[in-house]
Chain A
Amino acid sequence: MESASQSPRAGASLLASSVGGGILPGWATYAVLGGAAALSTAVLLAAGAFTAALTLAFTVLVACVAIYAWSRAVEGPRRARDRVMTMAIAAAFGLAMIPLFSLIFEVAKRGIPGLSLEFFTSDARGVVGGGGAEHAIVGTLMITGVAALISVPIGIMAAIYLTEYGTGRLRRALTFFVDVMTGIPSIVAGLFAYALFEIFLGPGIRLGVMGSVALSVLMIPIVIRSAEEVLKIVPAHLREAAYALGTPKWKTITRIVLPTAFAGLVTGVMLAVARIIGETAPLLVTTGVIDSLNSDPFHGRMQNLAVYAYNEYRSPGLMKQASYDRAWAAALTLIAIVMILNVAARLVYRRYKTEIR
């Protein structure tokens, strides 16, 4: 159709003529924003209440009112509504970005002083009031890795069940309870894992794998949910073509459905990993606290970045600032790990994404 291929200006004038009236110049939005900013700054400075946040808020408010008034006068009420809503939505997006940038800025600002080569290469064993966080980093990777190892096969198989095999009561029950599972408080998952292992191994037991089990309880519903969505999108005609050729069902799933959905599945797993990698509460009650490096999840306590950061904040000792620095540095490392995993997931997605015609 013409409207899609013509230039936006032509389309806009088409629209303008259809609702009656003229059309604002292309620089209208920027002019309004600039004017509103200037006005707000001037007024607040005069009132002696100038702050960046307040100015921004007033600018957006004034700009919305101004653009509506101006557009209504020139272009008519419908176009005016469109302009003001677009501005409002853009402002909402900006608002949502503020905490993100604030978080990343603050963590970076406070965490970088705590980073050092020592932080990454040595643990805290035998070092009074200091040391590195290698044991915490290795612990996080190990515990999260084992949790993924547990959750991903079970989660994907359950999603396959829901999309390919499930019928009737079991399916409905599973769908409902997966929803419920997303709301389990993280500390309850930890207490459950602790109670489970306590039955078999006695009280006071602390193992890396207990933390993995607790994290799996939190991770599985997310894996199932996203895997289910991705598997549902695989078109039926792909499957039907396979069956028509006489392929058995299991081969269809493993050779056709899963590879098609592979990219989406990886993204879903990454989402789940990102969710649980920073969990502190369940690990506090299951993995214990230790200074030394331990890479065996089945034997002995294991430190991890989240609990490490929490401990450094909670019990800083006399060198308070150094402990706080280490806590922020651990948080920064955690975020960095998640970002790396996210980027890797995106690359995998782009590489393996199959275009479905």
Chain B
Amino acid sequence: MSRFRWLAVLAFASVLALGVAACGSSSDETSSGGSSSSDLSGEIAGAGSTAQQAAQEAWIAEFENANSGVTLSYDPVGSGGGRDQFIAAGVAYAGSDAALSSEEGELEKATKRCGPGELIEIPNYVSPIAIVYNLPEVEGLQLSPETLAKIFSQEITTWNDKAIAADNPGVDLPDTRITPVNRSDESGTTENFTEYLSEVVPDVWSYEVSGDWPVKGGEAASGTSGVVEAVTAGEGAIGYADASQAGELEVAKVKVGKEFAEPTAEAAAKVLEESPLDKELSQGKYVLAYELDRETESQGTYPIVLTSYAIACTRYSSASEAETVKAYLEYVISPEGQKLAAEQAGSAPLSAALTKKVTPAVEAIEAG
């Protein structure tokens, strides 16, 4: 009986201790590590794209270090959820892999949400999408867009197919079955990849562009990690995933123009630089939605790219909210912020030219 008593006392005491520790550290006034002379305070919530999640976590961490009075959060509910919550004024800012569309009136609704202020939509996260594969004897695989499309539409079924051999002269290809791996969940990565295929080789890839993978019968995995794990586990598998998550998997080079390009951060950023604004979706002074030039053939570019946007308003009703959002977004687009994202999430830092274009949008944020 006394043994039970001791156990109960111990359990109770530990729960109590945990509770006291919790209460002690949850107040906003405690200074936690890092010296900060900032007087920003309050709680700001953002939501949206899962692709940006790792980067947002890193940005939030550094920002909270410098401003101990603020608590930021980012819900990786997905781009659709993020846009919805932003329009409904549930969050202060959103991250979205796709620009606000004009089809369902998203653009108008978001502009309306920003009330007397203007809508802000700027690219803040650029990441190359790598083609990863698992073929133990083959390194440095090269693929042209047609071959790539045929592989993923399951027209090509074995690795020693003529088309693949043509792209890789002199390489010994095994007759292993190809297992194409795609995303089972709706994703911005899928949307960007299918957009590339349908723009560059429309005669081979005639499927509709969407976040849902259109071809049935392939191996499907949930999340970027799922795709990477699936390709790692299956010999002969090939998939598309955020380049930063490729890990130790081999990455294929894709033909751009006459050269075969690797998915590097610089190459991805260059594509965005050379792309024009999408006129239909860029209605608003600070709305910069890009129509990526996927058919680019210039050297040093890699057109299979995911561009993710930050959506905010230029006016917020509360002064502290406006100040905090402004300071946060300033940090996000700054060279330090972009460098942090590159280190922690593997994204491509915004080029200097692009940073110059998006800065006015952030500077325009004010209270009111």
Contacts and interface: CB of A to CB of B under 8 A. Distances in A.
B319 interface: no
Nearest to B346: A318
- Residue in A138, A205, A317 whose Cβ sees the most chain B Cβ within 10 Å: A317
A313 B54 CA distance: 11
Interface stretch (B18-26, B114-122, B285-293): B18-26
Contacts of A295: 19, 22-23, 26
A316 B57 CA distance: 11
Contacts of B18: 137-138, 141
A204 B15 contact: no
A314 B223 contact: yes
Contact of A204 (B7, B45, B58, B65): B45
Interface in A270-320: 284-285, 288-296, 300-301, 311, 313-318, 320
Label chain B's interface by main secondary structure: helix
Contacts of B139: none
B76 A311 contact: yes
A317 B344 contact: yes
B225 interface: yes
A315 B54 contact: yes
Interface in A313-340: 313-318, 320, 340
Nearest to B58: A128
Nearest to A206: B75
A127 B88 CA distance: 31
Contacts of A206: 45, 75
A317 B90 contact: no
- Which of A131, A292, A320 has the largest number of chain B CB atoms within 10 A? A292
Interface string B219-247: 00001110000000000000000001101
Given A291-B61, A300-B43, A315 B90 contact: no
B64 interface: yes
Nearest to A120: B18
B32 A202 contact: no
B11 A344 contact: yes
Contacts of B1: 351
Contacts of A317: 54, 57-58, 244, 344-345
A203 B65 CA distance: 29
Interface string A332-355: 000000001000100110010000
Contact of B345 (A123, A126, A290, A318): A318
B75 to A, nearest CB: 5
B34 interface: yes
A273 B25 CA distance: 27
Contacts of A288: 45, 73, 75
Given A141-B15, A295-B26, A344-B7, A204 B88 contact: yes
A296 B26 contact: yes
Size range of the interface on A?
35 or more
B150 to A, nearest CB: 30
Interface string B76-91: 1100000011001111
A185 interface: no
B76 A289 contact: yes
Contacts of A22: none
Contact of A293 (B22, B58, B68, B85): B22
Nearest to B81: A285
A128 B247 contact: no
A155 B11 CA distance: 25
Nearest to B345: A317
B344 A203 contact: no
A137 B25 CA distance: 14
A16 to B, nearest CB: 46
Contacts of B11: 340, 344
Contacts of B224: 314-315
Contacts of A291: 57, 60-61, 64, 73
B340 interface: yes
Given A138-B22, A311-B53, A126 B32 contact: yes
A129 interface: yes
B208 interface: no
A172 interface: no
B208 to A, nearest CB: 26
A125 interface: yes
Contacts of B34: 126
A300 B44 CA distance: 10
Interface in B3-45: 4, 7-8, 11, 15, 18-19, 21-23, 25-26, 32-34, 43, 45
B345 A351 contact: no
B89 A125 contact: no
Contacts of A127: 61
A126 B61 contact: yes
A124 interface: yes
B180 to A, nearest CB: 22
Interface string A136-151: 0110010000000000
B336 interface: no
Interface in B237-292: 244-245, 247
B4 A205 contact: no
Interface of A: 121, 123-129, 131, 134, 137-138, 141, 202-206, 284-285, 288-296, 300-301, 311, 313-318, 320, 340, 344, 347-348, 351
Interface of B: 1, 4, 7-8, 11, 15, 18-19, 21-23, 25-26, 32-34, 43, 45, 47, 50, 53-54, 57-58, 60-62, 64-65, 68, 71, 73-77, 84-85, 88-91, 223-225, 244-245, 247, 340, 343-346
Given A289-B74, A291-B60, 13 more contacts: A126-B33, A128-B57, A129-B57, A204-B85, A204-B88, A290-B71, A292-B73, A293-B25, A300-B71, A301-B75, A314-B53, A340-B11, A347-B4
